[in-house]
Every structure is written in structure tokens, then in C-alpha cells.
Amino acid sequence: MSEQVRDRRRALLELHVHLEGSLSPLLLRTLAERYGQPGVPAACLTPDGSRYLPVAGFAQFLERYKAVVSLLRTPRDYHEAALGLGAALAGQGVIYAEVTVGYGVMHRQGVATEPVQLALHEAAAQVAQERGVRMLWQADAVRQWGADAAWKALEAALRCGPGLGVVAFGVGGDETALPAGDFAPLLAAAAREGFGTTLHAGETGGAASVRDAVLAGAQRIGHATAAGGAPEVLAMMAGAGVFAELCPGSNVATGAVGGYAAHPLRAFLAAGVPCCLNTDDPALFGLSLRGEYERAREALGLLEVEERRMQAQALSACFAPAGIRADMEARLAAGP
């Protein structure tokens, strides 16, 4: 059986995907019409409305992301977004995803988090039943808005909790705005409540930002790209068992790396840092998880045995409860 055929059948896990960055062009146009905002798709999509325009650097990505998020206003909107993401994941052979949702952004926009989370939980149940994809949720705060706002996001996440599918808490946003250490008490509190913890680091900041995220207590680090050129930080991550949520296609799109072949995936693998590939904002960047693994094979020499190991490490690093984890393990083992 060829590698290409095996790849079409292999089950995949996604640990770093933002719901807001997964809105299809069709849903974006629908929401824009719903709220009378034709300027959003005009600024984000090609003239025929079929796909997102290419991103030219991180600053443009942030502006586009803000525009897209501005159209998510009600539980219905989020429910539709979750159903769309679930369908896209199923089409890629993804069997499990931990989906980041911007609690901090919802608070800033005056959107009540608990009704939204109920809608997301209901959508996830529908996706699991109809498509066989499990989706759990990570509440996300925005670093540049400060620790006080992040505490409010955590409090909202705890009110929802595992009963509504929330299993993790993270801090994204501008990693250069405030030190990671400012959020260490927050991550510790989240961990005490049974949440997994993540921080974005090493995407726009240097290797020191990744080191600081490890010291702040993050169990997983989103991107971590800059650590690839810092053997001492890679050794720290490997020694502490801190998982790297690598997002090569996203990093290329935003300019964090100069090209796919320049991504330091091989440095993470050589250092023994547990990691997997992820899509980050798949609709905005035109990515699929299966496509990311294919590109990694072509541009970075990723081997089948390495890919399988990454999926096993993703299973170990996921924040799913024991029952779901056991089901995912069985489904991975049943693959080709």
C-alpha cells in the first residue's frame, strides 16, 4: 500500500485550531448579510467570494481576524461556525480536535460566554453523532488586555467547565505585550481546577518567550517556532515534557518563517520535544491538517514513523477525559 493511500485513511488529531479562524467563505458571507456588513467579505475574500485573500504578514492577519470575529455575535453564529468546522475536520480524517474559542474577545465585544458555550457544546454533540469527530473546547484570553481580563475569562470558563465541553484554558494574543510570568498564577489556578493550560509563544517573540512560557507553567505551547533555533530551550521543553503545537503553514502565511522548508520541525523532532502539526486558522490561511502533513513530508522529510509518533504524542498531550482518550487511542490503533 502506497504512502499516499495510507495517508488518505490515517486518523488525525488537531490540538491548535481557532474556531474564529475556521469560518468558511460561505459562512462569512452569510454572517455579513445577516448583520449588514458587506465590507467584511469585501476586505477578506476574493472578488468571487470563494476563498480568503492571501495574508501578507502578521499585521494584516490580525486585521483580517478582527474583521471575521466581529461577525460572531450570537450563540447561533457560534453554533453554525462549530458545525462548519466539524464538517471540515471530518473531511480531513480528523477524529479529535481541541478548539480554541476567544472568551476574552467575547467579553470585549459584550457577548455572553455561557449561552455561546452551550451552543458550542450542542454543536459538538451533533458533529460527534453525525460525523464521528470529537470536539472539545479551550477558552482563550488575550495577553495584551492584561491579567485582570484573563482572570475574568478563566472564571467564565470555570462556570461552563467540562459539563459544556471546556477542558482547557490558554492565553493567546500579542506575546510581546506582557511577560508570560504575569499569567503564571492564572495558569496555576486553571490547572488546580483540572484544566489543561497553554500559552502562545515563539511566534512573534523570540526563543526567550518560549522559555518564559515553560517557566510560567504552560503544559503546551502554541507555535513555539523560535525555540527551533535555541537548543537550550528545546532541551528545557523536552526535559519538562512541554508539548509544542506546531503550525508551519500558519507561520509561513504570517511571515514567522521564510518558507515551509525553513520551519524548524526537524529541530523539535531531533531534540525529543513532543509535538504535532496543526492548522491554527485553517480557513483564513487555506490550510487542511492532512495537507500540512503532506507538505511536511515533501518539504521537511517527515517520515511515516515520525508522523505516527506525533499522533501518539498528541493523544498523550490532549486534555480529553479518560473515556474519550481511550476511544481515540482505539481509533488510532485501528488505522492502516
Residues with catalytic roles: 203
List C-alpha distances in Å: 45 to 30, 56, 84, 304.
13, 14, 18, 36
Burial (CB count <10 Å: 0-12, 13-18, 19+), residue 131: middle
Burial (CB count <10 Å: 0-12, 13-18, 19+), residue 82: buried
List C-alpha distances in Å: 174 to 24, 87, 171, 302, 322.
25, 30, 9, 30, 33
Q: Phi, psi (5° rounding) for residue 68?
A: -65, -45
| Count of residues making up the chain | 336
DSSP 258: S
Q: What share of residues in the chain are helix, strand, coil (percent, to 5)?
A: 60, 15, 25
Sheet holding 220-223, edge to edge: 12-18, 94-102, 134-142, 166-172, 196-201, 220-223, 243-246, 275-277
Q: Residue 97 corresponds to which cell in the numbers above?
A: 480536535
Contact 278, 12 (CB under 8 A): no
- Spatial separation of the C-alpha atoms in residues 18 and 14, rounded to whole Å: 11
- Spatial separation of the C-alpha atoms in residues 302 and 157, rounded to whole Å: 37
